[in-house]
Structure 1
Amino acid sequence: MKLKLKAKDKPTDHPYLAKEGGKGRGMVDLGNGSEVLYIPRFISYEESWEYLDYLNKHIPWTRPTIRVFGRSCVQPRDTCYVANAGLPELAYSGYQPRVYSWDEFPPLREILDRVHKALPGSCFNSLLLNRYKGGDDCVGWHSDDEKLYGPTPEIASISFGCERDFLLKKKPSKISQAKRFEGEPPSKRLKKTSHSNQHSFTLKHGSLLLMRGYTQRDWLHSVPKRAKVETARINLTFRHVL
């Protein structure tokens, strides 16, 4: 499968990346060296449907059993892992996925090349794919702060299919929270914690969201359940393993 990139769809020409080294419209400064870039139409609408169809039919999806808080459960989404040869093995929640080669899925290499062109200086060498079949499929609050990604990882996320909410919230500082709540009744503590720093994005069909800087150190993210969602979403998260 070869999907040709039309001149008007070149990511390097996108207005979100055209000014101030990518800090124009679409960039969210989270503070303290953390930032998020969101491009709603990174890949054209028509091409995005072609990619979605290919990914549904040709990726060897699996829904593994993982361990969460000491208990075994089935992961609430399908997954697949693609990476360069010779990298350190990926493992999370007691699960170690099989590693597939880029050569097995040429369209994934095409998308990787497009991401590299859009984000000068990026050098992604691994890809974790997730498929959310419906509203019950989700991923809970977490950060991708594994040591194999280094202290300031860039993670580029491309979405195809059904729109889903992507949430970010600031990790609490135990020391600052203790000082903040000292001597206050529980009712006031609850009121203050409900106003923590949070951001929400609606990840559209063909969109790209980039997290970089200290986002994984200082922030958590999630894709929550949504009762009214009935169609599938496929998410590609490109990462650089050290």
Structure 2
Amino acid sequence: MNDTGRKLKPVPLPDAEVYFSAHFFNPEQSDVYLQELLQQVNWQQESIKLFGKLQPMPRLTAWYGDKGYTYSGLENKPQPWLPVLQELREQVEQASRQQYNSVLLNLYRTGQDSMGWHADNERELGQEPSIASLSFGGERRFALKHRSRKDVDALRITLNHGSLLLMQGPTQHHWLHHIPKTSKPVQPRINLTFRYVHG
């Protein structure tokens, strides 16, 4: 999908269009980006309503870009692009041949920080959204499961330091994904999911 030597390779999944590069950035580049993001991003501990009660989200988050965005009942007002985020966006756009106007960042501080099963299928993302997911820091297990087909096994991918995962086409219609908790010692991880918000 790109000519820079950091190939995004297709992941064989039915009813989906998924690509992965385990080493989109080399370790030295990844170390620099991790430190810049830890220091420069305005991290927040947001709360969402579960079963009628406000609960703190099990990770820190930040939203940057040109558009606001609402998910899980949480309204995100955009913060202006940081130079490091612009730089990462340009490289991801070149590799994916897609355009993105917003990025959601998640900081998983320990193995107990997690993300529940969900699909990025909000109306503002369009019919077949492209979601480009960069990872820096500790390795975490990423899982995908088909919404309806019991004959299709769940898929697990290790998202390592400097990796890029691209989900597009019908993926969000047919598949759910999550980051489970782990009891293993793990370094903090930053995940950036670039997306195009319409409207």
TM-score range, shorter chain: over 0.9
3-state SS in 1 of match to 2:70: coil
Q: Is the 8 A contact 2:69 2:197 kept in 1?
A: no
Which position in structure 1 is the counterpart of 2:71?
Answer: 92
3-state SS in 2 of match to 1:113: helix
Give the one of 65, 70, 73 matched to 1:83. Answer: 65
Which position in structure 1 is the counterpart of 2:95?
Answer: 118
Q: Deviations over 1:61-101 (max 9, x none)?
A: 001110134332100000000111xx3x3112222123111
3-state SS in 2 of match to 1:211: strand
Q: Deviations over 1:88-147 (max 9, x none)?
A: x31122221231111xx1011001111111122x01111000000000000010001000
CA distance in 2, matches of 1:111, 1:41: 14
Write the mapping of 1:1-242 to structure 2, written as runs, cut at 5 A: 12-14=3-5, 16-17=7-8, 26-32=9-15, 34-84=16-66, 87=67, 89-102=68-81, 105-120=82-97, 122-172=98-148, 196-242=152-198
Amino acid at match of 2:170: Y
Identical aligned residues as a percent: 40
With the length of structure 2 as denominator, give the TM-score of the two structures: 0.93
CA distance in 2, matches of 1:140, 1:229: 20
Amino acid at match of 2:92: V
CA distance in 2, matches of 1:167, 1:100: 29
Could you list the runs of 5+ residues in structure 1 that have no partner in the other structure?
1-10, 18-25, 174-192
CA distance in 2, matches of 1:197, 1:241: 31
Amino acid at match of 1:217: H
Amino acid at match of 2:7: Y
Amino acid at match of 1:117: Q
Pick the structure with more helix per residue. 1
Please list every run of at least 4 consecutive aligned residues from structure 1 whose deviation after the TM superposition is greater than 6 angstroms: none
3-state SS in 2 of match to 1:114: helix
With the length of structure 1 as denominator, give the TM-score of the two structures: 0.77
Q: Is the 8 A contact 2:128 2:168 kept in 1?
A: yes
Could you list the runs of 5+ residues in structure 2 that have no partner in the other structure?
none
Q: Rg: which structure is higher?
A: 1
3-state SS in 2 of match to 1:96: strand
Go from structure 1 to structure 2 and tell me whether the alpha carbon gap of 1:114 and 1:15 turns closer, same or farther (over 3 Å shift).
closer
State the Cα distance separating 1:230 from its structure 2 match. Answer: 3.5
CA distance in 2, matches of 1:15, 1:42: 5
Pick the structure with more strand per residue. 2
CA distance in 2, matches of 1:64, 1:46: 31
Q: Is the 8 A contact 2:6 2:23 kept in 1?
A: no
What is the CA RMSD across the aligned residues, in angstroms? 1.6
